[in-house]
Amino acid sequence: DGGITQSPKYLFRKEGQNVTLSCEQNLNHDAMYWYRQDPGQGLRLIYYSQIVNDFQKGDIAEGYSVSREKKESFPLTVTSAQKNPTAFYLCASSIGARDGTEAFFGQGTRLTVV
């Protein structure tokens, strides 16, 4: 079945550590996105990529980094510079070629700083 796979589902990080969240899709979508979800704040865009080897900052990119070396993969690294990383992280993808196309979401990764 086609879809988006995020791993791990739960992740614990010590303060000062970098962690990488995985996102893989087999939908043959060009565009991929990372969102952060906090209670009462909806989803906020961290980074997005419309094509391989290219990505842009979203609204809250500070303390995060991404890469897009393969069409199927868009990993997110939460660096030690991110002061409040505890949140639910959602990866999404879309066809990307046209405006108005919907995004398909993975099941999310819950990151907790301990």
Partner 1 sequence: AQSVTQLGSHVSVSEGALVLLRCNYSSSVPPYLFWYVQYPNQGLQLLLKYTTGATLVKGINGFEAEFKKSETSFHLTKPSAHMSDAAEYFCAVSGNTGRRALTFGSGTRLQVQP
Site string for partner 1, 11-30 (x = CB under 8 A): --------------------
The minimum distance between CB 102 and partner 1, in angstroms, equals 5
Cα dihedral sign for 83, 88, 89, 95? negative
47-77 b/e (C-beta count within 10 Å ≥ 16 → b): bbbeeeeebeebeebeebbbebeebbebbbe
> Is 41 one of the binding residues for partner 1 (CB under 8 A)?
yes
**Candidate list 65, 73, 75, 105; residue touching partner 1; CB under 8 A:** 105
**Candidate list 27, 43, 60, 61; residue touching partner 1; CB under 8 A:** 43
